[in-house]
Homo-oligomer: A and B are copies of this chain.
Amino acid sequence: MPQQNVRLTHAERVLKFLKRQERPLSAYEILEALRGDGVAAATTVYRALAKLLETGHVHRIESLNAWTVCRAPHHSEIPVFEICDGCGSVTEHVTSHLARDIAALSADSGFVPDRSVIEIHGRCSDCNRPSSIT
Protein backbone atom coordinates (compact mmCIF):
# COMPACT_ATOMS: atom_id res chain seq x y z
CA MET A 1 0.00 0.00 0.00
CA PRO A 2 1.82 3.03 -1.26
CA GLN A 3 -0.11 5.61 0.72
CA GLN A 4 -3.05 5.98 3.03
CA ASN A 5 -4.94 8.45 0.91
CA VAL A 6 -5.28 6.14 -2.02
CA ARG A 7 -8.91 6.86 -2.62
CA LEU A 8 -8.82 10.60 -2.11
CA THR A 9 -9.10 12.66 -5.23
CA HIS A 10 -6.97 15.73 -5.60
CA ALA A 11 -10.02 17.88 -5.10
CA GLU A 12 -10.67 16.17 -1.77
CA ARG A 13 -7.05 16.58 -0.73
CA VAL A 14 -7.05 20.27 -1.60
CA LEU A 15 -10.34 20.89 0.18
CA LYS A 16 -9.22 19.07 3.29
CA PHE A 17 -6.05 21.12 3.34
CA LEU A 18 -7.76 24.44 2.75
CA LYS A 19 -10.15 23.78 5.60
CA ARG A 20 -7.25 23.80 8.01
CA GLN A 21 -5.99 27.19 6.85
CA GLU A 22 -6.88 30.49 8.48
CA ARG A 23 -6.34 32.59 5.41
CA PRO A 24 -6.73 32.23 1.67
CA LEU A 25 -3.78 30.63 -0.08
CA SER A 26 -2.51 31.04 -3.60
CA ALA A 27 -2.64 28.03 -5.88
CA TYR A 28 1.13 27.77 -5.71
CA GLU A 29 1.11 27.85 -1.92
CA ILE A 30 -1.33 24.96 -2.03
CA LEU A 31 0.92 23.18 -4.48
CA GLU A 32 3.97 23.56 -2.23
CA ALA A 33 2.05 22.31 0.76
CA LEU A 34 0.70 19.25 -1.02
CA ARG A 35 3.84 18.14 -2.81
CA GLY A 36 4.74 14.77 -1.39
CA ASP A 37 1.06 14.19 -1.00
CA GLY A 38 0.77 13.26 -4.64
CA VAL A 39 0.13 16.72 -5.99
CA ALA A 40 2.88 17.41 -8.47
CA ALA A 41 2.05 20.36 -10.66
CA ALA A 42 0.18 23.63 -10.86
CA THR A 43 -2.24 22.13 -13.35
CA THR A 44 -3.38 19.60 -10.80
CA VAL A 45 -4.10 22.25 -8.22
CA TYR A 46 -5.98 24.44 -10.67
CA ARG A 47 -8.05 21.50 -11.84
CA ALA A 48 -8.95 20.62 -8.28
CA LEU A 49 -9.82 24.23 -7.49
CA ALA A 50 -11.98 24.50 -10.60
CA LYS A 51 -14.00 21.52 -9.46
CA LEU A 52 -14.32 22.80 -5.92
CA LEU A 53 -15.36 26.20 -7.21
CA GLU A 54 -18.05 24.65 -9.38
CA THR A 55 -19.44 22.67 -6.48
CA GLY A 56 -19.36 25.71 -4.23
CA HIS A 57 -16.80 24.32 -1.81
CA VAL A 58 -14.29 27.09 -2.30
CA HIS A 59 -14.24 30.73 -3.26
CA ARG A 60 -11.65 32.64 -5.18
CA ILE A 61 -10.68 35.96 -3.62
CA GLU A 62 -10.11 38.08 -6.70
CA SER A 63 -8.28 40.90 -5.03
CA LEU A 64 -5.77 38.49 -3.50
CA ASN A 65 -5.43 35.95 -6.29
CA ALA A 66 -6.06 33.40 -3.61
CA TRP A 67 -8.46 30.65 -2.63
CA THR A 68 -10.41 29.91 0.48
CA VAL A 69 -12.90 27.39 1.72
CA CYS A 70 -16.56 28.32 1.77
CA ARG A 71 -17.45 28.90 5.40
CA ALA A 72 -20.99 30.16 4.99
CA PRO A 73 -23.77 27.74 4.26
CA HIS A 74 -25.10 30.17 1.71
CA HIS A 75 -27.97 29.20 -0.42
CA SER A 76 -27.18 30.82 -3.72
CA GLU A 77 -26.77 34.10 -1.88
CA ILE A 78 -24.04 36.58 -2.67
CA PRO A 79 -21.01 36.17 -0.44
CA VAL A 80 -19.26 39.21 0.99
CA PHE A 81 -15.70 38.95 2.19
CA GLU A 82 -14.09 41.07 4.84
CA ILE A 83 -10.36 40.87 4.30
CA CYS A 84 -7.99 42.02 7.01
CA ASP A 85 -4.90 43.59 5.48
CA GLY A 86 -3.18 43.20 8.82
CA CYS A 87 -3.36 39.50 9.54
CA GLY A 88 -4.72 38.22 6.25
CA SER A 89 -7.79 36.63 7.76
CA VAL A 90 -10.96 36.57 5.72
CA THR A 91 -14.50 36.44 7.02
CA GLU A 92 -17.35 35.42 4.80
CA HIS A 93 -20.75 37.01 5.22
CA VAL A 94 -24.03 36.57 3.48
CA THR A 95 -26.45 39.44 3.46
CA SER A 96 -29.62 39.85 1.54
CA HIS A 97 -29.39 43.63 1.72
CA LEU A 98 -26.48 43.83 -0.63
CA ALA A 99 -28.15 41.44 -3.01
CA ARG A 100 -31.19 43.64 -3.02
CA ASP A 101 -29.15 46.76 -3.72
CA ILE A 102 -27.41 45.08 -6.60
CA ALA A 103 -30.71 43.99 -8.04
CA ALA A 104 -31.93 47.56 -7.72
CA LEU A 105 -28.94 48.84 -9.69
CA SER A 106 -29.73 46.36 -12.40
CA ALA A 107 -33.36 47.30 -12.60
CA ASP A 108 -32.28 50.79 -13.60
CA SER A 109 -29.69 49.86 -16.17
CA GLY A 110 -31.14 46.73 -17.74
CA PHE A 111 -28.01 44.87 -16.71
CA VAL A 112 -28.57 41.21 -15.80
CA PRO A 113 -26.24 40.17 -13.00
CA ASP A 114 -24.70 36.75 -12.90
CA ARG A 115 -22.00 36.62 -10.25
CA SER A 116 -20.78 39.28 -7.86
CA VAL A 117 -17.38 39.94 -6.41
CA ILE A 118 -17.64 41.82 -3.13
CA GLU A 119 -14.42 42.10 -1.16
CA ILE A 120 -13.95 44.63 1.59
CA HIS A 121 -10.41 45.34 2.64
CA GLY A 122 -9.68 46.82 6.01
CA ARG A 123 -8.58 45.74 9.45
CA CYS A 124 -10.23 43.22 11.70
CA SER A 125 -11.10 44.07 15.28
CA ASP A 126 -7.96 42.32 16.54
CA CYS A 127 -5.56 44.09 14.21
CA ASN A 128 -7.23 47.40 14.82
CA ARG A 129 -6.47 47.58 18.50
CA PRO A 130 -4.04 50.40 19.37
CA SER A 131 -1.65 47.88 20.89
CA SER A 132 -1.25 45.95 17.69
CA ILE A 133 0.14 48.38 15.16
CA THR A 134 1.70 46.00 12.65
Q: Which residues of A approach B to under 8 Å, CB–CB?
A: 62-63, 80, 82, 84-85, 91, 93, 95, 97-98, 101-102, 104-106, 109-125, 128
Given contacts A101-B97, A101-B101, A109-B91, contact A121 B125 (CB under 8 A): no
CA of A117 to CA of B30 in the docked complex: distance in angstroms? 25
B101:A95 contact, CB within 8 angstroms: yes
A121:B115 contact, CB within 8 angstroms: yes
A113:B106 contact, CB within 8 angstroms: no
A82:B62 contact, CB within 8 angstroms: no
CA of A123 to CA of B111 in the docked complex: distance in angstroms? 6
CA of A37 to CA of B119 in the docked complex: distance in angstroms? 36
A114:B106 contact, CB within 8 angstroms: no
B98:A111 contact, CB within 8 angstroms: no
Closest 8 CB pairs of A and B: A110-B125, A113-B122, A114-B122, A117-B119, A62-B63, A62-B62, A97-B101, A82-B111
CA of A112 to CA of B127 in the docked complex: distance in angstroms? 10
